[in-house]
Chain A
Amino acid sequence: AQKITQTQPGMFVQEKEAVTLDCTYDTSDPSYGLFWYKQPSSGEMIFLIYQGSYDQQNATEGRYSLNFQKARKSANLVISASQLGDSAMYFCAMRENTGTASKLTFGTGTRLQVTL
């Protein structure tokens, strides 16, 4: 089974609108972290936001927020007031509390296109 599933290969949103990018995860580990990264066309991976499995509140960072539904094992990224510069690939990733240096496991990504 996939550990991280992003079911939306591509999304369109109009400038200034909000958009939700879906992410579901699968783990039997009670301790884990969920991360979102942005990859613009230039290729770098930019950290956006983090949610811990024991966090009671949804994480927020500026225009980014994470809709964390633990029972459903989902961690959707919400981008409010979209800007043209938000056009990029977005990856959801999980870090479990296993192994000696807990690697990140990534989903397949969602390509977001912001339109005028």
Chain B
Amino acid sequence: EPEVTQTPSHQVTQMGQEVILRCVPISNHLYFYWYRQILGQKVEFLVSFYNNEISEKSEIFDDQFSVERPDGSNFTLKIRSTKLEDSAMYFCASSVDRSYTDTQYFGPGTRLTVL
């Protein structure tokens, strides 16, 4: 069964460093998403991406965040200058279309720890 994959599973970085989180969405999916979950809290939407453009972003997704689809398979989230409060689990998700009836499938997550 096709699945969303994410690398690395765990990333430790120093405050102020740049990190890139990588995702490979399900191959026939067209819409891609990043969510984050601070430890013990609910999952929060960051950004959605379609046709090489950001479709929607939350207020969390400020100028230090960026997303890219550098090739036909990868979808990346870059955090330019990490802060302590960026420590969280980051989930990539994908769906076939944007309809409210369509399921978003999640990857296993990348746990980011900022020291």
Contacts and interface: CB of A to CB of B under 8 A. Distances in A.
Given A100-B55, A101-B56, A106 B44 contact: yes
Interface string A49-67: 0101100000000000000
A103 B106 CA distance: 13
Nearest to B95: A101
B95 to A, nearest CB: 8
Contacts of A97: 99-100
B111 A43 contact: yes
Contacts of B99: 97, 102
B contact face: mostly helix, strand, loop, or mixed: strand
A50 B93 CA distance: 16
Interface in A20-59: 31-33, 35, 37, 42-47, 50, 52-53
B32 to A, nearest CB: 9
Q: How large is the interface on A (under 10, 10 to 19, 20 to 34, 35 or more residues)?
A: 20 to 34
A35 B42 contact: no
Contact of B103 (A47, A99, A101, A103): A47
Interface of A: 31-33, 35, 37, 42-47, 50, 52-53, 91, 93, 95-97, 99-109
Interface of B: 31, 33, 35, 41-45, 48-50, 55-56, 58, 89, 91, 93, 98-109, 111
Given A101-B98, A104-B93, 12 more contacts: A31-B100, A43-B109, A44-B107, A47-B103, A53-B100, A99-B55, A100-B98, A101-B56, A102-B98, A102-B100, A104-B104, A106-B44
